[in-house]
Structure 1
Amino acid sequence: MIRVLLEPGSAAVGRRVGLLEGEAHYLRVRRARDGDPVELRDGKGLSGLGQLILAGKIWSVEVTAADRAARPAELTLAVGSGDRDRFAWVVEKATELGVTSVIPLESARTAGVASRLRTQHVGRLQRHALEAVKQSGTAWATTVEEPLPLADLVARAPTGQGWVADAGGAPPPAVVGVASLTVVIGPEGGLTARELQLVHDAGYAPVCLGPHTLRFETAAIAAAAAATAARLRGSHG
């Protein structure tokens, strides 16, 4: 069944609502027709059903079911703000894995990256998260925050658990609970020795994500997958 995106908070059973901008093109590509059943998502917890309505060239949907999924346990990736296109891939995959927030980190080795993610790119990345909602069926889109200096992140020590990707660390825990978890991933070239020490001192436990050097986007998704799997094990006792 086709999934379509609505404005957050607009869905109510029996209500006819418009679709999010850009969805009309998607429906044309999918050769959707008036009356087709669809799944509904808004990236803010909606898991609903509806029926498409085509009036002239304008698409809308009549909502037939509108359930709300609880927000998942907090899982934040704080990732060195490298190349913005590769960062978009991180956001997409993070949404599929249930990451609640992504923070682009500014550090010593991100300043010289000409194509790095900047504040003006955050809106486009948030749209990537919504597209991942549509593809994967999850009810919640990852929130993409504005770039944050590493010093500001460590100044607000982690709420709950904190990990930092570090080749000298232990493997990630096999089981974790539902307490919030923040994972720090350095940029291309890694965190400097001083930065890594600052993160350690702020309470982030070093974890090793593999035997080889990883690109920042690979490390971010490896960490998200490890955390998600560990939580699943914890939820199954």
Structure 2
Amino acid sequence: MYKKLHTFFLPSHQWNEPWSLAGKEAHHLTKVLRITSGHKIRLIDGSGKTGIFTVQKISKNEVSLLCNEVLTWPEPQSKVHLALAWNKSFRRSWLLEKAVELGVWKIILWQARHSQGRTKDASQENWQGKMIAAAKQCENPWLPELIFLHEGAGKLTLYSKDIQSKLLLWEEEKNNRIMEYFQNHHPWEKVVVIGPEGGLAREEVDIFVDSGFVPLSLGPKVLRWETAALAPLFLNMLTVH
């Protein structure tokens, strides 16, 4: 019978004896949740491993654990690489969290012609923390890789060259609807490009189309950047076989 347990993150290189939690995760366990010795918890490593552990000993800076069970999960069959044009959105952290919940495989932040500001790695640690929190909440054993591409569309096409299906969400596309595409095509791996709130430049669209990307429409309504980004993840989750 499934039992909901508090979930904590332990990087894969620390999955060995003696088992323990330290730092922020230990503080959260002892000071926030006030878990005591004898209680069971769940660990994830973000690379496909989960485990059930019993809290043994709690010291000032460390929580000692007893390993009860470790499971290794296969990689998901359907993988979505979400390529988001850089945008000065205050909802960026929220978007990253929701993308993890919906099973995104990789997130690429790339520099578009109409991006607001420049891509920067400075906040990567904070965003990584947000994604870890989301993975813990939904017990997702796979944590997506966060990639920064400081160059434009050409660099993104190079990144995508070996990916089976290449999709471009474009506000000026009128014929090809994303729903119909996901219903009729079921590639196991796909990259989905989302432009900035200022829209894609025509030369960027040409670069993507010339590299084999299929332009798709989300419909007649104008959507916010973060709403458009989540749509293909929802559809992938609903239509995957």
2:135 paired with 1:130: no
* 8 Å Cα contact 1:11/1:66 also seen in 2: no
Q: Deviations over 1:198-222 (max 9, x none)?
A: 1111111112223311122111111
Q: Deviations over 1:22-73 (max 9, x none)?
A: 1123222122111110111111111210011333222132221111111223
CA–CA distance in structure 1, aligned partners of residues 22 and 230 of structure 2: 28
2:58 paired with 1:55: yes
Q: Deviations over 1:66-121 (max 9, x none)?
A: 111112233100001112642222221111111110000101111xx24x641222
Q: How many residues align?
A: 227
Equivalent residue number for residue 162 of structure 1:
166
CA–CA distance in structure 2, aligned partners of residues 227 and 20 of structure 1: 36
SS at match of 2:65: strand
* 8 Å Cα contact 2:110/2:119 also seen in 1: no
CA–CA distance in structure 1, aligned partners of residues 209 and 184 of structure 2: 21
Aligned pairs (5 A) from 1:157-236? 157=161, 159-167=163-171, 168=173, 169-172=175-178, 173=181, 174-231=183-240, 235=241
Equivalent residue number for residue 19 of structure 2:
17
CA–CA distance in structure 2, aligned partners of residues 93 and 151 of structure 1: 28
* Pair 158,166 (structure 1): closer, same or farther in 2 beyond 3 Å: farther
* 8 Å Cα contact 2:170/2:200 also seen in 1: no
1:5 partner letter: F
CA–CA distance in structure 2, aligned partners of residues 211 and 144 of structure 1: 31
Where structure 2 has 5 or more consecutive residues not aligned to the other structure, the ranges are none
Aligned pairs (5 A) from 1:101-112? 101-110=106-115
Equivalent residue number for residue 43 of structure 2:
40
CA–CA distance in structure 2, aligned partners of residues 48 and 98 of structure 1: 19
Equivalent residue number for residue 147 of structure 2:
145
1:18 partner letter: S
* 8 Å Cα contact 1:83/1:117 also seen in 2: no
Worse-matched range after superposition: 183-192 or 83-92: 83-92
Tell me how far 1:158 sits from its aligned partner.
5.2
* 8 Å Cα contact 2:170/2:217 also seen in 1: yes
CA–CA distance in structure 2, aligned partners of residues 70 and 198 of structure 1: 35
Worse-matched range after superposition: 217-226 or 146-155: 146-155
Identity among equivalent positions (%) equals 26
* 8 Å Cα contact 2:167/2:192 also seen in 1: yes
Would you identify which runs of 4 or more consecutive aligned residues in structure 1 move more than 6 Å? none
Tell me how far 1:122 sits from its aligned partner.
2.1
* Pair 25,151 (structure 1): closer, same or farther in 2 beyond 3 Å: same
TM-score (norm 1): 0.87
CA–CA distance in structure 2, aligned partners of residues 176 and 135 of structure 1: 31
SS at match of 1:40: strand
2:69 partner letter: A
CA–CA distance in structure 1, aligned partners of residues 139 and 120 of structure 2: 28
Equivalent residue number for residue 100 of structure 2:
95
CA–CA distance in structure 2, aligned partners of residues 175 and 164 of structure 1: 16
SS at match of 1:226: helix
